[in-house]
Structure 1
Amino acid sequence: MSARDRRRTRPALLALLLLTCLLGLLAPATPAALAAGDAAPTGEPAASSAARTGPSALPTRPPDDATARPDDEDELGVRVQVLEIAPVVLRPGEDLTVRVRLTNTGEDEVTAPRAYVRIERIRPGTRADLETWLAEPAATGSGGRVGTRAATVAADAPLPSGAAVDLTLTVPAGEVGLLDRPDVWGARGLAVEAVDGTRRVGLERTFVLWAPEGAIPQARVSVLAPVVGPPTVPAALEGEATVPGDDLETLAGPGGRLAEVLDVARAHPDVSLAVDPALVASARAADGAAGTWSQDLLTVAAGRDVMVLPWGDPDLTALAHAGTPDLLQAAVERSRAATVGGTTQDAALAGRTDVLWAPGPTTDQATADLAAEAGAEVLVLAPGDLPTRTGEPSGARTDDAGDGLVGLVPDEVLTELLVDPVSLDPDATPATVVQRVLAELSVVARASGTGPQHLLVAPPRGWTPDREVVDATLAAVQSAPWSRLSSLSSLLGAPSDTTAREPLPALTEVAAALPAEQVRRLAEARAGTQTFASVTTDPDAIVAGVDEAVLTPLATAWRVDPPARAEVVDAVVTEVDARRTGLELAQTSTQNIISASGEVRFSVRNGLPADATVQVRTTPRKACLRAGESATVVVPAGGEAAVPVPVHATANCEVEVEAVLTSADGTPLSAPVTFLARVTPTIESVGTGVVGVLLAVGLVLGIVRTVRRGQSARRGARRVREEEGTRPLPVLGGTPEGDA
């Protein structure tokens, strides 16, 4: 090339070089570059390159530190489980140990299995950010955010299909790469990546919890554990209905649901209990494991926050939709009688009876209104009720449940983590549950500017706790710098959360709840028996056990088996109705009524052990006969009495008459009886009556006419005209003046 050509080419090369540099400056950072940096949110400055040369410096990335990428989503054939993260809360100067298990769930052998620990150093600002990190895809073209590699370990041998290997990775304190400043505490994303060579074959996400020295605000957590029994039937109906699920003896025995809940409460004094007193009564009356469990429960409950549920734990939603507040009131009063200070001799429980617990899964406004009508001050709602308008979870205590009613909304994520963490993460372990719970609470604590934010964990009634998960989680909550366990009373005494919430829905029906017509059948049977008993001098002998029987099929526990529950409803209604026997109105033969006024006498038999006060109501089917009000008669116990009923006949006829035995207020007490009445009032009786009526009417009309016309000069005081041709005589007699 000539010198002239070289001079012409030099400016073009310089321009191309400048353009290349400019494009390099303007190009956005790649995901790998972002992951390699130590970015920080507002208020948490990123570490400078000079600072990274000290003890907290990031490690130099090895040549093979490129993010492993899977070929396809379906090729993630290794299941990654985090078995342990120690310490749970990491502090400056401490090494981080992560123990993992890799399980080959694919068909091909993993020839060179290795595991990486990666840390995402951007602190999540909201609970939604935590969810975003966990939801990052594990197998995409870019691999998603996985953080910066902080530790590596290789397995000693290939991993055949179906095999598993446990590996331990240690991140030295100097390579954690988080700032040692008081304001940077909280959760960071942590990922464990399984690779085969350079290909990702598995990924699990969790959190590392960072806590430098300094003042840290705290979030409060209350746990309300349900102590409710299985579905039951009244003692009088045992053997007539099939009870689903395990019986009380099994649930209270080793490994049973009730035994596990009691063990959780025993290990954690701040856990509050929601107890059905009917369950305690049944357990105390039993032998074996159930009897022992009841005594242990009373010991554990002493000095603890206890919420005494209405007797039998009735389904509040079913009662609300049926419009039967009297049944709820009966259950509440029965529970109050079973608590310390109540009226029963065997009072054992001590707790609040003004806190009700909605059955869920969604609470409607009708249920809240029923709770307020029953005099409750607090209603425990279902997780997910009253969502905030912002979509971000908020505190538990709210005034939006109803007029004058405080609502407690369990935290949906925290409750699910204690109840069924696998539903949130198929590869969940006790270690990842603990890290997730503390990560959630760290965000809550940081956002509570006006005071500690209070959350509620309320597992469902059928909760069988996983002791390993629950014990580890509650212990971690109690020991973490930004959280503490707290009693239910502390939550009830806290200020209500003012976050705007959506209203409770207006549901027309709840599929699992007892249908309204079935609830009304129970209510009517109870009311009828109470009225029947009220006419006797010893009503308690008749109504004893009626409330317990009627409340049995209303228990929320019966939602698990609606067909069997319907059988129990039928049996209970039959049994309660059968108590309304013993008072009988004897059948009456044909009655001949031959006068306009008379009476029919009815015979009443009392087979009850107490006196009864009754009346008889008669209803003729034709207008020719009218019946008056019956006398009230006291029928002696085991005896018989006659009850007269006045009747009035107006014409000759044959009429069918229905008679029924009633209470003083007219409520029927027996089945009606019918008889034929031949009404033949005599002509004299009818005529005399008619004439008497006419005379009375004439007299009244005459009096009225005279009163209305009054007296005048021409009536009453007028002189009679002298007849024509007559003249008055002198005063002393003699001849008239004209004749003289």
Structure 2
Amino acid sequence: MIRKAALLAVMTTTMLSSAVVVPAGTANAQTTAAEAREAGTAAAGARPAAARQGRQEPQLAVESITPDVPRDPTTEIRISGFFANTGEVRNGLRIRLRHSAQPFARRADLATYLGGEGAQPYSYHDQFLEPTIAPSAKAPWEFTVTPQQLGINRFGVYPILLEVLDGFGQQVVAQRTLLTYLPKDVTVPRTKIAMVLPVIDQPRRADDATFIDDTLAKSMASGQRLGDLLKIAQDNTSAKGLTWMVDPALLDDAQAMAKTHTVKTKDATVKRPASPEAGRWLRDLRAALARPPVIATPYADPDVTALTHNGVDDAARNGIGAAARIGREALGRDVIDYVNWPVNGMIDYDGLDALAGAGVDTVLLDERNLPSAADRSATVPPTSPATTTTTATPVTPVTTPDAFARLESVDGPVTALVADTALSEVLGADTSAPGAAALSHQRFVAETAMIGAEQAVPAAGSAGAPRTAAKTVVAVPPRRWHPDPGYVTGLVKAAATLPWLSPVTLDTLKRPKSPVTPRSGLTYTEQDRRAELGKPYMASVKRVNSRADLTTGVTTAQDLDIFEPALLRLASSAWRGRTEDATPYVRQVAAAVDARIGKVSISGSDQPQFRTLAGSDGNVPISVRNDLTGPGSEIAVQLQVTSDKPKLLEIDPYESKDSPIVIAGGQNRTIRVPMRATAIGGQTTVTVQLVTKDKRKYGKPVKLTVRTTGYTGIALVIVGAALAVMLAAVVMRVLRRRGARRVAASQASPTAPPRPASAPAGTES
């Protein structure tokens, strides 16, 4: 009964559906209306009953289409793959290859067709699969056809539809792909194509000394993301047209992990030995990238627009400077630092000004950010690949925009290279599903062929001469892609052999004197703003940045910013949409900054401080300790001493009040601060604060309690009086001794005549 009901449904559909015109001259031109309607069902993207009921759909995988580009009408084209049964036992299945003799007229039609919309090919070739296919079994299949059999006779891209049908002619599963044909006698202008391959990760360290986890080495293993990126580089050391874009922060992390390093675990911070995987990965990458051009992102690939919109204007310059230095150190060669790829290829004029001010003269943008001024959809009506009319008035297809554009910044013109959306998607396609690599490969061939075909079309009003100006296109996969090395290498090889492509590197592209394609200005929407690192998160980064800037303000080393790399890691574009993952990094950097600030302190600052003036004035010693070690350990600080009651206790000029004092790492310095009390006895509080050269407070202030006794003046009076009394006594004693000596002398002389009694003393008679 079920079989009869299904047959009745098919017959009813056949009688109620209208006839479909089949192109003449194609293989099996006697296609019936019912069979054409089967193609119509496929075109509508009808899903098998199993899928509609929530069961897993069977798979139809296209594993190979060779050659990439047949050049002769009799060239054999092999299309092969397998059907994977995921449901009940199936009998009497057949696979059908549908095709059309009409090529696509424009690139937009490719995406429409591959999405299951628009007109579909009707001519077909059939073959039966295995008589019985058990659940979980795979049935291989292969078609061998020629362009002549498919009715293909001119340069273009043609639709191919593969579908599996059951015994009632119902579609079980379908797969769409593309076939490109180029006759030997046709010459197509070569399009310059530049492929930019990113090697960008997320930050793995918070401060320079601490890894938040130890997953980096695992991702460098063979078959993991960074391991696969390395393999692509190793497999294409001599390939043409490849430009690498590397984040030096990743190289820096690898260098740090290749030595003894510290990892923060859930409960503690532990030492780890040098990672051989990290060291090997870095050495191999260095060797693989010895020849091709390497563009360095700003260190840690910071979210430049978010930083600019939050007032952190120097981040771009700092990141680019650090990238050039660390990239050269890690790779042993110079890197390109004047090309920038904003996050998602999107930037506004504020971000552009920040980049231009940092020395960037070329930006790599997404088509949405800098769209063509022309409206593509308005110039050419939709075209069906199955259209049979050949006398229609020809229209000029909307062509692919040239990659070059020009932008104006506050620092002058900036070159924009606009990435081709479709080619970028194909280059970064997820090919993990069976057959996905072959389908994406065919689309790459087809998309680039369509670009070449656009240049071969005569311009409107011309005498038919082909266009000769070479067009430039750029393909860039997603920032943190996980590619299949074999698939990417296959595309690179195809680009080098396709007769309409000329692979070039980004650094060899020469900017045209005038833009080839008129474009509108930068388009940066509110949605793009919301995608940036959010204000709450950026506020936390700015707080840490402000604290870290203090450490730079006291170091004597020129151009040394200890925490600059850490702060750039906090602002990495990797944290977009996942700032909660960055929270441990913020906390760790904040703790490291506070720890460094705490190593420069006023001695005894952790205990109550008392000083005594033995009188109305005196010098109070204050000691500054520098416990820093390593690079940047020498500091220059000033001491700011303030009396809480200046009318009672005055601070006189002292060393380091107006100029900094220099203290080497591991040393201390004592400053004697003169103070004068205006009242005898009592105590007053004094605040002692370390400040940077530009008078910013460094560390916590220290309170000193200064006591004045008044004893010094009283002691001086007492000592003075005692000295006077003692001096008088001494004088009296001397006089008495002199008198006594004279008397004794006169008594000892017998010949001396006696003095008259009336004669005054001391006179002669």
Secondary structure in structure 2 of the residue aligned to 1:353: coil
In 2, Cα distance between equivalents of 1:613 and 1:121:
80
With normalisation by structure 1, the TM-score equals 0.71
Given that 2:554 and 2:693 are in contact with CA atoms closer than 8 Å, whether structure 1 keeps it comes out as no
| Residues 51-103 of structure 1 deviation map (CA, whole Å, 9 limit, x = unaligned) | x6xxxx75552669832535993436654332222222122322333224333
Query: Paired residue for 2:440, among 430, 433, 442?
Result: 433
Alignment pair present for 1:331 and 2:319 = yes
Q: Is the 8 A contact 2:550 2:692 kept in 1?
A: no
Distance 2:78 2:663 in 1: 86
- Rounded to whole Å, the distance in 1 between the matches of 2:366 and 2:621 is 58
Q: Could you tell me which residue of structure 2 aligns to residue 315 of structure 1?
A: 303
Cα distance change, pair 66–636 in 1 and its aligned pair in 2 (3 A):
closer
Q: Deviations over 1:263-302 (max 9, x none)?
A: 2233332321112234334435625232222222222212
Question: Aligned with 1:259: secondary structure?
Answer: helix
In structure 2, give the amino acid aligned to 1:551. L
1:283 to 228, 251, 254: 254
Superposed counterparts of 1:147-226, under 5 Å: 147-160=121-134, 162-179=136-153, 184-197=154-167, 199-201=169-171, 202-212=173-183, 213-226=185-198
Match of 2:580, as an amino acid? Answer: P
Q: Does the C-alpha gap of structure 1 residues 621 and 406 become closer, same or farther in structure 2, counting only changes over 3 Å?
A: farther
1:233 equivalent in alignment to 2:205: yes
Counterparts of 1:593 and 1:503, CA distance in 2: 73
**Matching of residue 301 in structure 1 with residue 319 in structure 2:** no
Deviations 1:471-522 (A, max 9, x none): 3333223222222332122346466553323523165443656821122133
Partner of 1:617: 640
Q: Is the 8 A contact 2:653 2:673 kept in 1?
A: no
**Change in 2 beyond 3 A, CA 1:636/1:222:** closer
1:101 aligned partner, one-letter code: F
Q: 1:662 to 1:272 in 2, by over 3 A?
A: same
Question: What secondary structure is seen at the aligned counterpart in 1 of 2:291?
Answer: coil
CA deviation map 1:299-326 (0-9, x unaligned) = 2212211112233333334433332233
Local SS of the residue matching 2:587: helix
* Residues in 1 aligned to 2:94 and 2:418: alpha-carbon distance in whole angstroms: 44
Superposed displacement of residue 335, structure 1: 2.6
Deviation at 1:209, TM superposition (A): 0.6
Please state whether the residue corresponding to 1:395 is helix, strand or coil.
Answer: coil
1:529 pairs with 2:551: yes
Tell me, yes or no, if structure 1 residue 478 matches structure 2 residue 496.
Answer: yes
How many angstroms does 1:360 deviate by?
A: 2.8
Q: Is the 1:384–1:409 Cα contact (8 Å) retained in structure 2? A: no
CA distance in 2, matches of 1:208, 1:508: 41
Structure 2 vs 1, CA of residues 185 and 97 (structure 1 numbering), >3 Å: closer, same or farther? same
Please list the CA deviations of residues 91-145 of structure 1 after superposition, one character each: whole Å capped at 9, or x if unmatched.
Answer: 23223332243334555x55432222222222222221112222345xxxxxx63
CA drift of 1:389 comes to 4.6
Structure 1 equivalent of residue 522 of structure 2: 503
Q: Give the corresponding residue for 2:451.
A: 444
Matches within 5 A, 1:684-699: none
TM-score (norm 2): 0.69
Q: Which residue of 1 aligns with 2:395?
A: none
CA deviation profile, 1:645-704 (whole Å, cap 9, x unmatched): 678989x999755332334432323422335679999xxxxxxxxxxxxxxxxxxxxxxx
**Distance across 1 between alignment mates of 2:48 and 2:496:** 41
2:334 — aligned with what? 350
Query: Shift of the alpha carbon at 1:255?
Result: 1.5
- Residues 265, 271 of structure 1: 8 Å contact kept: no
Residue 23 of structure 2: aligned partner: 36
Residue pair 1:606, 1:612 contacting (<8 A) in 2 also? no
Secondary structure of the 2:278 match is helix
Identify if the C-alpha distance between structure 1 residues 60 and 126 changes in structure 2 by more than 3 Å, giving closer, same or farther.
Answer: closer
Q: May I ask how many residue pairs the two structures share in their alignment?
A: 606
Q: CA-atom RMSD, angstroms?
A: 4.0
SS of match in other structure, 2:98: strand
Partner of 1:547: 564
Identity of aligned residues (%): 21
Report the AA paired with residue 245 of structure 2: A
8 A contact 1:635–1:641 mirrored in 2: no
- Map 1:59-70; keep pairs closer than 5 Å: 59-61=28-30, 66-69=35-38
SS at match of 2:35: coil
Shift of 1:569: 1.5
**Where does residue 674 of structure 1 map in the other structure?**
703
> Cα offset for 1:529?
0.3
For residues 317 and 113 of structure 2, what CA distance do their matches in structure 1 show?
Answer: 48
Q: Deviations over 1:346-386 (max 9, x none)?
A: 77132211222323385444433332232212233357433
Tell me if the contact between 1:631 and 1:645 (Cα under 8 Å) persists in the aligned partners.
no
Q: Residue deviations 1:372-414, cap 9 Å, x none?
A: 2322122333574333354656333332485533333332222
**CA offsets per residue over residues 166-216 of structure 1, 9 Å max, x none?**
22223344322123xxxx412111212332345231332211111012220
Q: CA, structure 1 residues 558+503, in 2 after alignment: closer, same or farther (shift >3 Å)?
A: closer
8 Å CA contact 2:203–2:300 kept in 1: the answer is no
Give distance in 2, aligned partners of 1:168 and 1:636: 80
- Alignment partner of 1:461: what SS? coil
Q: Which amino acid aligns with 2:36?
A: T
1:61 alignment partner, SS class: coil
The question of whether the paired residues in 2 share the 8 Å contact of 1:397 and 1:407 is answered with yes
Alignment of 1:99 onto 2:80: yes
- Partner secondary structure for residue 322 of structure 2: helix
- Return the alpha-carbon distance in structure 2 between the equivalents of residues 647 and 377 of structure 1: 62
SS at structure 2 position matched to 1:90: coil
Residues 1:420 and 2:429 aligned together:
yes
Structure 1 residue matching 2:189: 3-state secondary structure: coil
Structure-2 change in CA distance of 1:135 and 1:568 (3 Å): closer
Aligned-partner Cα distance in 2 for 1:160–1:227: 44
Q: Relative to structure 1, is the Cα distance of residues 433 and 509 closer, same or farther in structure 2, using a 3 angstrom cutoff? A: closer
- Contact 1:220–1:452 at 8 Å: present in 2 too? yes
Measured after TM superposition, the shift of residue 619 of structure 1 is 4.4
Task: Tell me if the contact between 1:116 and 1:149 (Cα under 8 Å) persists in the aligned partners.
Answer: no
Contact 1:606 1:639 in 2 (8 A): yes
What is aligned with 2:233? 265
For 2:531, the aligned partner's letter is V
The Cα of 1:528 is off from its aligned counterpart by 0.4
Q: Read off the aligned partner of 1:570 and give its amino acid letter.
A: R
* 2:471 partner amino acid: Q
Higher relative contact order (CA 8 A, sep 6+): 2
For 2:530 and 2:472, the matched residues in 1 are separated by 32
**In the superposition, relative to structure 1, how do residues 622 and 283 fare at CA in structure 2: closer, same or farther (>3 Å)?**
closer
SS in 1 for 2:700: coil
| Residue 254 (1) aligns with residue 228 (2) | no
- 1:396 aligns with one of 398, 403, 410: 403
Contact 1:384 1:411 survives alignment (8 Å): no
Whole-Å Cα distance in 1 between the matches of residues 669 and 365 of structure 2?
A: 56
Residue number in structure 1 paired with 2:600: 582
Paired with 2:341 and 2:235, the residues of 1 have a C-alpha distance of: 24
